């Protein structure tokens, strides 16, 4: 689609998981409401990461394995847009692609889902808690060192099934993922962000387009939410500056507070033996600078050593 054409059809690329398809459909529905004449189609794309569900991401290529084929389809014109969970998107994006819209952020917090209806503080000593995230594991261990926190693989449905089968006493998941899938559980405790700092971009969808496709960028621009974009740029500014990988427990959470944006961040060693926290307020007109500033302060306090430890783990 050239920059001067008028778009009448948009193909949205997405992974084929139930959650990914639901997220893409949220964007598709919003586009249909904004542009009633627009034909919007979903194009499921199987990625390398989808073909390696049990692989250790750190050993086989990191988060990029879940977007590589989608990037290629976008760049070569087989699709006009891609929808990603921002927290799963690598800090570096290919030349020629832009994050064209961030719809309003959903709940960025984590939730604990237990079998017996117990919250985090009420779990018995030695309870087995499953999580797919090093970030969650180190924070859980800091809050409850007596728990057996184990890494659990699989999608949301798989993790909940393992909970129901009794393999775990509780699992920790993203609130937004449960909400988007319509999963309602009576034994859910929402973990306050002050106790369990969210992942970079958690709860946010990123809509990606080609930089030279002005027509499609204009269409999707109506979905962009100002505060969500500021938060995304601040958190990803931190991510890019800190230089961590998927083997480094990282967290960053930006949000508006009394006319400024507040960013709180965390970097930890994989075993949780060392955890650094910092935060700052900044001007929302230069959100990425806020993220870089917090990262630079943490690097000066020793975060570089922690990141290198994570990469060597």
pLDDT tens column, 3-37: 444 578 999 999 999 999 999 999 999 999 999 99
Alpha helices in the chain (DSSP H): 18-34, 48-51, 57-60, 68-75, 134-143, 156-164, 175-181, 214-220, 226-242, 287-298, 304-312
Tell me the mean pLDDT in the region 206-234. Answer: 97
Q: Alpha-carbon distance 251 to 213, whole Å?
A: 33
Q: Alpha-carbon distance 231 to 261, whole Å?
A: 8
Closest to 180 measured CA to CA, from 250, 239, 105: 105
Best CATH choice for the domain 235-306 from the list 3.30.70.20, 3.30.460.10, 3.30.160.40, 3.30.413.10: 3.30.160.40
pLDDT tier for residue 137 given thresholds of 50, 70 and 90: very high
Tell me the mean pLDDT in the region 285-304. Answer: 96
Q: Alpha-carbon distance 33 to 52, whole Å?
A: 36
CATH 3.40.190.10 fits 9-104+204-224, yes or no: yes
Sheet hosting strand 250-257, strand order edge to edge:
250-257, 260-268, 275-282
Tell me the mean pLDDT in the region 130-143. Answer: 95
Question: Is residue 60 predicted with pLDDT exceeding 50?
Answer: no
* Three-class secondary structure of residue 270 per DSSP: coil
Considering the chain, what is the average pLDDT of its residues?
A: 91
Closest to 88 measured CA to CA, from 255, 208, 169: 208
CA–centroid distance for 181 within its chain: 16
What is the tens place of the pLDDT at every residue in 240-254?
999 876 788 999 999
pLDDT of residue 54: 56
Question: Is residue 56 predicted with pLDDT exceeding 60?
Answer: no
Q: Running DSSP on this structure, what letter comes out for residue 65? A: G
Question: Which tokens is 209 given?
Answer: 């387009």
Matching CATH topology for 9-104+204-224 and 110-191?
yes
What sign does the dihedral 261-231-109-168 (CA atoms) show?
negative
Residue 268: how many CA atoms within 13 Å on its side-chain side? 25
Which of 43-47, 71-75, 101-105, 182-186 shows the lowest per-residue confidence on average (mean pLDDT)?
Answer: 182-186
Tell me the mean pLDDT in the region 171-194. Answer: 92
Q: Alpha-carbon distance 42 to 81, whole Å?
A: 10
Buried b (16+ CB within 10 A) or exposed e, 99-134: bbbbbebbbbbbbbbbbeebebeebeeebbbbbbbb
Angle between helix 226-242 and helix 287-298 axes, rounded to 10 deg: 30
Question: Is residue 1 predicted with pLDDT exceeding 50?
Answer: no
The class of domain 110-191 in CATH terms is: alpha beta
pLDDT tier for residue 59 given thresholds of 50, 70 and 90: very low
**Residue 8 annotated to the active site:** no
CA–centroid distance for 133 within its chain: 11
Residues 6+ away with beta carbon under 8 Å from 177: 19, 156
3-state helix, strand, coil in the chain (%, to 5): 40, 25, 35
pLDDT of residue 148: 97
What is the tens place of the pLDDT at every residue in 264-279?
999 999 999 999 999 9
Question: Is residue 162 predicted with pLDDT exceeding 70?
Answer: yes
Query: Phi and psi for 202 in degrees, rounded to 5?
Result: -60, 135
Tell me the mean pLDDT in the region 123-140. Answer: 96
Selected catalytic residue, list 8, 29, 50, 88: 88
Q: Alpha-carbon distance 7 to 263, whole Å?
A: 37
Q: Which residues face 85 on adjacent strands?
A: 205
What is the tens place of the pLDDT at every residue in 252-265?
999 999 888 999 99
pLDDT tier for residue 114 given thresholds of 50, 70 and 90: very high
pLDDT of residue 16: 92
pLDDT of residue 85: 95
Burial class (CB in 10 A: 0-12, 13-18, 19+), 23: buried
* Three-class secondary structure of residue 36 per DSSP: coil
Element (H, E) at 184: none
Q: What ranges do the domains of the chain cover? A: 9-104+204-224, 110-191, 235-306
Residues 6+ away with beta carbon under 8 Å from 47: 15, 65, 66, 67, 68, 69, 70
């Amino acid at each position: 689609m050239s920059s001067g054409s008028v778009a009448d059809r948009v193909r949205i690329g997405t992974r084929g998981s139930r959650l990914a398809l639901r997220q893409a459909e949220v964007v598709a529905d919003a586009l249909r409401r904004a542009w009633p004449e627009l034909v919007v189609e979903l194009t499921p794309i199987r990625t390398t990461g989808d073909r390696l569900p049990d692989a250790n991401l750190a050993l086989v290529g990191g988060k990029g394995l879940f977007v590589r084929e989608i990037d290629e389809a976008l760049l070569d014109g087989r699709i006009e847009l891609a929808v990603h969970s921002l927290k799963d998107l690598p800090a570096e994006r290919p030349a020629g692609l832009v994050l064209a819209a961030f719809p309003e952020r959903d709940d960025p917090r984590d939730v604990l889902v237990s079998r017996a209806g117990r919250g985090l503080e009420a779990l018995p000593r030695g309870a087995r808690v499953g999580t797919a995230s090093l970030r969650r594991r180190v924070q859980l261990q800091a809050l409850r060192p007596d728990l057996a926190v184990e890494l659990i693989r699989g999608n949301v449905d798989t993790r909940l099934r393992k909970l129901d089968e009794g393999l775990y006493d509780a699992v920790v998941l993203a609130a937004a993922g449960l909400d988007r899938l319509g999963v309602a559980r009576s034994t859910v405790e929402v973990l306050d962000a002050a106790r369990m700092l969210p992942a970079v971009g958690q709860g946010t969808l990123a809509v990606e387009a080609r930089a030279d496709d002005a027509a499609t960028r204009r269409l999707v621009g109506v979905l962009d939410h100002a505060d969500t974009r500021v938060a995304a740029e601040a958190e990803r500014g931190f991510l890019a500056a800190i230089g961590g990988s998927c083997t480094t427990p990282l967290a960053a959470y930006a949000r508006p507070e009394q006319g400024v944006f507040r960013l709180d961040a965390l970097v930890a060693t994989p075993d949780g033996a060392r955890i650094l926290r910092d935060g700052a307020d900044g001007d929302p007109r230069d959100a990425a600078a806020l993220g870089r500033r917090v990262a630079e302060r943490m690097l000066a306090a020793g975060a570089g050593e922690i990141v290198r430890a994570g990469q060597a783990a």
